[in-house]
Structure 1
Amino acid sequence: MPSRLSFALLGCALAGLTGGAALWFAGDARLAAQLWSAGVIPVLLGLLVEILRSLRRGEVGLDIVAAVSMSAALLLGEALAAAVVALMYSGGTFLESYAETRARRDMTALLSRVPRRATRLVGGALQEVPLEALGPGDLVLIRRGDVVPVDGTLHSASALVDLSALTGESLPLRQSQGQEVMSGATNVGEAFELTAARRAADSTYAGIIRLVEAAQASKAPMARLADRWSLVFLALTLGLAAAAWWASGDPIRAVAVLVVATPCPLILAVPVALVAGLSRAARHGVLIKGARPLEALARIGTLILDKTGTLTDGRPQIVAIHTEAGFSAEEVLRAAAALDQASHHPIAQAVVAAALARGPMLPIPQETMETPGEGVTGRVEGQWVAVGGLGFVAVQLGGDLPSGPAAQAGSVQVAVAIGQRLAGRVVLADGLRPGTAALLAGLRRLGVGRILLATGDRRAVAEAVTAGLGLDALHAELTPEQKVALVRAEHARGGGGVMMVGDGVNDAPALAAADVGIAMGARGAAASAEAADVVLLVDRLDGLLAGLSIAQGARRIALQSVGAGLGLSVLGMIAAALGHLTPVQGALLQEAIDVAVILNALRALRITPALAAPVPAAPGPTGQGFS
Structure 2
Amino acid sequence: MTSPTPTLREEETTGTPAAPERGGGAGPGLLPARAWVRPGIAAVLIGLSWLLDALTGSPATGSVLPGPADLLMVGAALVSGTPILIAAVRALRHRVIGIDLLVSIATIGAIVIGEYWEAAAVTTLFAIGHALEKGTLQRTRRALTDLVSTAPEQAVVLRDGTEQTIAATEVRQGEQVLVRPGTRVPVDGHVLAGRGAIDEAGITGESVPAEKSEGDPVYAGTVATGGLLTVLAEGIGADTTLARIIRRVEEAQDAKAPTQAFMDRFARWYTPAIIVLSVVFGVLTGDVELALTLLVISCPGALVISIPVAIVAGIGRGARDGMLIKGGEHLETSARIDTVALDKTGTLTTGRPVLTDVLPLPGRTREEVLLWAARAELTSDHPLAAPVVQAARADGLDLGQIPEQADAVVGRGVLARHGGRAITVGNQAMLRESDIADRPEAREAIDLADETARRGRTPMIVTLDDSVLGVIGLADTPRAEAADAITALRRSGVREVVMLTGDQPRVAQAVAAEVGIDTVHAGLLPEGKLDQIAALQARGRTVAMVGDGVNDAPALASADIGISMGAAGSAVAIETSDIALMRDSLSALAQSLRLARRTVAVMRQNIVIALVTVGMLLLGVLLGGVTMSLGMLVHEASVLLVIVNAMRLLRPARR
Matching of residue 554 in structure 1 with residue 594 in structure 2: no
CA distance in 1, matches of 2:461, 2:236: 34
Aligned to 1:258: 295
Aligned to 1:442: 488
Q: 1:297 to 1:597 in 2, by over 3 A?
A: same
Aligned to 1:571: 616
CA distance in 2, matches of 1:344, 1:199: 30
CA distance in 2, matches of 1:112, 1:75: 50
Per-residue CA deviations over 1:425-469 (Å, capped at 9, x if unaligned) read 996432322222322232222222233333455555544433453
Aligned to 1:411: 458
Aligned to 1:43: 83
* Cα deviation, residue 412, structure 1: 6.8
- Amino acid in the other structure paired with 1:442: A
- Amino acid in the other structure paired with 2:86: G
Aligned to 1:470: 517
Aligned to 2:230: 193
Q: 1:209 to 1:253 in 2, by over 3 A?
A: closer
DSSP 3-state at the match of 1:188: strand
Aligned to 1:614: none
* Cα deviation, residue 563, structure 1: 0.6
Matching of residue 503 in structure 1 with residue 503 in structure 2: no
* Cα deviation, residue 550, structure 1: 1.3
Matching of residue 493 in structure 1 with residue 539 in structure 2: yes
* Cα deviation, residue 536, structure 1: 0.5
Q: Is the 8 A contact 1:37 1:83 kept in 2?
A: yes
Please give the residue correspondences for 1:247-326 in structure 2 after superposition, counting only pairs within 5 Å: 248-317=285-354
CA distance in 2, matches of 1:456, 1:345: 14
* Cα deviation, residue 520, structure 1: 2.0
Aligned to 2:370: none
Per-residue CA deviations over 1:515-572 (Å, capped at 9, x if unaligned) read 3222224367543432212110101121111111112112212221221232022111
Per-residue CA deviations over 1:208-247 (Å, capped at 9, x if unaligned) read 2332332243233332222233356547745774676467
Please give the residue correspondences for 1:19-98 in structure 2 after superposition, counting only pairs within 5 Å: 19-27=45-53, 28-52=68-92, 55=95, 61-98=98-135
Per-residue CA deviations over 1:592-620 (Å, capped at 9, x if unaligned) read 2222222222111124154xxxxxxxxxx
- Shifted more, 568-577 versus 214-223: the winner is 214-223
* Cα deviation, residue 124, structure 1: 5.9
Aligned to 2:433: none
CA distance in 1, matches of 2:389, 2:566: 25
Q: Is the 8 A contact 1:553 1:607 kept in 2?
A: no
CA distance in 1, matches of 2:266, 2:333: 19
Please give the residue correspondences for 1:530-541 in structure 2 after superposition, counting only pairs within 5 Å: 530-541=575-586
CA distance in 2, matches of 1:414, 1:196: 44
CA distance in 2, matches of 1:344, 1:193: 30
1:220 paired residue among 246, 257, 264: 257
* Cα deviation, residue 575, structure 1: 0.7
Unaligned 5+ segments in structure 1 are 324-342, 355-362, 376-388, 416-424, 611-627
CA distance in 2, matches of 1:124, 1:462: 53
Please give the residue correspondences for 1:49-198 in structure 2 after superposition, counting only pairs within 5 Å: 49-52=89-92, 55=95, 61-115=98-152, 118-121=155-158, 125-126=162-163, 134-135=172-173, 139-156=176-193, 158-195=195-232
Q: Is the 8 A contact 1:20 1:31 kept in 2?
A: no
Aligned to 2:642: 597
Per-residue CA deviations over 1:303-353 (Å, capped at 9, x if unaligned) read 222333223332324667999xxxxxxxxxxxxxxxxxxx99977977999
Aligned to 2:465: none
Per-residue CA deviations over 1:55-78 (Å, capped at 9, x if unaligned) read 36xxx6544433433333233332
- Amino acid in the other structure paired with 1:94: A
DSSP 3-state at the match of 1:169: coil
Q: Is the 8 A contact 1:9 1:43 kept in 2?
A: no
CA distance in 2, matches of 1:282, 1:563: 27
DSSP 3-state at the match of 1:26: helix
- Amino acid in the other structure paired with 1:46: I
Q: Is the 8 A contact 1:99 1:272 kept in 2?
A: no
Aligned to 2:427: none
Aligned to 1:514: 559
DSSP 3-state at the match of 1:55: coil
Please give the residue correspondences for 1:309-388 in structure 2 after superposition, counting only pairs within 5 Å: 309-317=346-354, 371=402
- Amino acid in the other structure paired with 1:31: L
Q: Is the 8 A contact 2:253 2:311 kept in 1?
A: no
Per-residue CA deviations over 1:70-100 (Å, capped at 9, x if unaligned) read 3332333323222322233333333333223
Q: 1:180 to 1:34 in 2, by over 3 A?
A: closer
Per-residue CA deviations over 1:237-285 (Å, capped at 9, x if unaligned) read 4577467646754221222222222343112232222211112112221
- Amino acid in the other structure paired with 2:337: I
Q: Is the 8 A contact 1:159 1:190 kept in 2?
A: yes
Q: Is the 8 A contact 2:80 2:127 kept in 1?
A: no
DSSP 3-state at the match of 2:625: coil
- Amino acid in the other structure paired with 2:499: L
TM (norm. structure 2) is: 0.72
CA distance in 1, matches of 2:317, 2:610: 24
DSSP 3-state at the match of 2:647: helix
TM (norm. structure 1) is: 0.74
- Amino acid in the other structure paired with 2:150: R
Q: 1:164 to 1:108 in 2, by over 3 A?
A: same
- Amino acid in the other structure paired with 1:21: G
CA distance in 1, matches of 2:457, 2:176: 36
Per-residue CA deviations over 1:476-504 (Å, capped at 9, x if unaligned) read 42335x55555445434324x33222222
CA RMSD of aligned residues (A): 4.8
* Cα deviation, residue 153, structure 1: 4.1
Q: Is the 8 A contact 1:182 1:522 kept in 2?
A: no
Q: 1:595 to 1:202 in 2, by over 3 A?
A: closer
Q: Is the 8 A contact 2:187 2:233 kept in 1?
A: yes
Q: 1:180 to 1:10 in 2, by over 3 A?
A: closer
CA distance in 2, matches of 1:466, 1:390: 34
Q: Is the 8 A contact 1:320 1:427 kept in 2?
A: yes
Q: Is the 8 A contact 2:249 2:316 kept in 1?
A: no
Per-residue CA deviations over 1:25-58 (Å, capped at 9, x if unaligned) read 21332322331332244133233145336636xx
- Amino acid in the other structure paired with 1:44: I
* Cα deviation, residue 391, structure 1: 11
Higher relative contact order (CA 8 A, sep 6+): 1
Select the structure of larger CA radius of gyration.
Answer: 2
CA distance in 1, matches of 2:126, 2:32: 10
Percent identical pairs in the alignment equals 34
Aligned to 1:606: 651
Q: 1:268 to 1:372 in 2, by over 3 A?
A: farther
DSSP 3-state at the match of 2:256: coil
Per-residue CA deviations over 1:398-440 (Å, capped at 9, x if unaligned) read xx9xx9985536637899xxxxxxxxx9964323222223222
* Cα deviation, residue 292, structure 1: 2.6
CA distance in 2, matches of 1:195, 1:352: 29
Q: 1:208 to 1:30 in 2, by over 3 A?
A: closer
- Amino acid in the other structure paired with 1:448: V
